[in-house]
Amino acid sequence: MKSLFELEQTLTSHLENVINKEEVKLKELKEFYHQIPKFKQHSDSQTYLGNPLHSYMLLKRFVGYWSKLEDLLSNNIERKFLSLLSSNVHMFPTEEDIYGARDALLRLQETFDISSQEMLQGFGSRFIHSSALGADDAFAIGLTAFDRQKNQLSRSWLDEALQLLDLGVYFHEKKPSRFEILDHLAWLEYLSEQYHAAYNHTVQMLIIEPSNKRIKENLKIYERTIKKEFKINDAILKEQQNIPIIKEVNEKKKKEKYKRFYHTKEEKAHDRYPIESRRMQELCRGETDPIPSEDITHLSCWYKTDNPLLVLKPGYVERLYVKPEILLFHNAMTDYEIRRVKILANPILERATVHNPKTGKLEFADYRTSKSAWLDESDDDLVASMNNRIEAYTGLDMYTAEKLQVANYGIGGHYETHFDFARTVPLRPPPWKNRTDYTYRYKGEPGEIIKENGNRIATMLFYMSDVERGGATVFTNIGQAVRPVKGDAVFWYNLHHDGSGDPDTRHAACPVLIGEKWVSNRWIHERGQEFRRKCNLTPEED
């Protein structure tokens, strides 16, 4: 009986551990369950996903929790649920998707000039379904900015992470390390010449780890720097410990005059890239240039009825700009056509690629983030119908046009400045990126290699969704922007009449801040247009 008694005590001890673990699991499951938004109507979920922070948290829940739920639950609790979970694990996002989402949030912050505090608060009260992030998220995004050498953004995110940590605001994941936050902040403050702040952060680190040799050495460096810069002694320096340092947030950058993107021997692409990037951001925020006064009288709207297809339903055309001529066709797609194109494209959407002229291969690139699919006339009669309409609108032959490309832009989805026409002369890219749109440009001289169908003479871009904020098509060389309106289409010629590329068509797709962006486009080639868009008698006429 004694042995039986001891066995019962042992089993009871183990049973107590099992009960305690199950209670902890149940508590975690309840906390996770209450964090998940629940909607009865599909329209509500679309509005929710329109906020990029909500999309980020959705990715995070799948990577951090749904994928680990199988380990949390024992097999005898809910076999059906576990079966459902494991059968759909192939759909779960990965850590790489989380990193991409953080990059997208930083891109949105830079483009639309949003503070880290406003991002953390879900853009404040301006949008419904807003939800705040915690210290763990702020720290992770700050580290991403640190890795990308975006020091000012990293400082702001790490400052927020420190404040949220002190308030005890962090969700789900492991509590971020105060020491690690301070370590990164001290270095960033030092780089920004905020020496007192770097010194104070280092003092706080030594309180956490008094014997850390590296931190002690850093403190000596900061002490020497402060004494040298401000000519103060040890007593004054000690008095200044932990005094809040007032830092200028949102430092105003000197606005450089923007020059159009013309390739010259003197121009260095890596010097131009940050200027052009800032120009794109300004246009995405709505800071467009005024229309030249001599062109205003040429801006007009009219009905296009010069084709049999346009007799009963004419084209509603608006000239947005004169040189280059940018035309907007209102109501170019119906709601039915948009729904049909999305249904056809959805199963075959893949991450968009760009053509590398050096290797001749299609590659992923961080300057183009979207998912795309290609539709041909054989896929559906609707594609053929759209071809006929484009031909009626533009007067161009669609025989050599590329397939209909359908693109969907998700969190921060964008496409940096580029030309739609091909270039063949090498130009040195920026040192930190192998950017194909900087590496090659159109030469315009005899003997160059051109594809059988010629260069891309024109672009027709259909907007298949409204975008609440962001997502505009901006033309950096002329300082103009076209806002997406569901059903409208924008058209422009990429080439001059003599076949040379028009640098003023350089354009970009702004990141999507709020909402979702769907577009489809046709790139029309030169072959077949010989008698439809004739050459001018003299090059000067262009």
pLDDT tens across 400-456, in order? 999 999 999 877 888 888 889 886 554 444 444 444 444 344 444 444 445 678 899
* Contact call for residues 502 and 495 (beta carbons, < 8 A): yes
pLDDT, tens digit (0-9, with 9 covering 90-100), for 168-213: 877 655 678 999 999 999 999 999 888 888 999 999 999 999 999 9
398 Cβ neighbours under 8 A, 6+ residues apart:
387, 388, 390, 391, 522, 524
Query: Tell me, what's the pLDDT at 384?
Result: 94
Q: Give CA–CA dist 182/161, Å, rounded.
A: 10
94, 63 contact by CB (below 8 A):
yes
Q: What pLDDT was estimated at residue 285?
A: 94
Q: What is the pLDDT of residue 259?
A: 62
Paired tokens of 531? 């008698």
In the chain, which residues have pLDDT < 50? 75, 77, 125-130, 244-253, 263-265, 357, 362, 364-365, 367-368, 426-449
- What backbone phi and psi angles, to 5 degrees, belong to 467? -120, 120
* Surface-to-core class of residue 305, CB atoms within 10 Å of its CB (0-12 exposed, 13-18 middle, 19+ buried): middle
Pairing of strands 512-514, 507-509: unpaired
Say how far apart CA 508 and CA 474 lie, in whole Å. 5
Q: Which helix (H) or strand (E) holds 522?
A: strand 517-525
Residue found under tokens 């008095």: 239
pLDDT on residue 429: 44
pLDDT of residue 438: 43
Q: Which domains does the chain have, with CATH numbers?
A: 19-239 (1.25.40.10), 320-535 (2.60.120.620)
* Two structure tokens written together for 328: 């907007």
- Number of residues that make up the chain: 542
Q: What are phi and psi of 414, to 5 degrees?
A: -155, 170
pLDDT of residue 144: 94
* CB proximity list for 182: less than 8 A, separation 6 or greater: 162, 201, 202, 204, 205, 208
Using alpha carbons, select from 146, 66, 57, 142 the residue that is nearest to residue 97: 57
Token digits for 99?
A: 């990193």
d(CA 36, CA 58): 9
Contacts of 319 (CB under 8 A, 6+ apart): 298, 299, 300, 301, 325, 326, 327, 328
Say what the pLDDT of residue 437 is: 45
Burial class (CB in 10 A: 0-12, 13-18, 19+), 109: buried
- What pTM does this model have? 0.78
R_g of the chain computed on alpha carbons? 29
Q: What one-character DSSP code corresponds to residue 495? A: B
pLDDT at 328: 98
The structure tokens 């763990």 sit at: 136
> How confident is the model at residue 493, as a pLDDT?
96
Confidence (pLDDT) at 44: 67
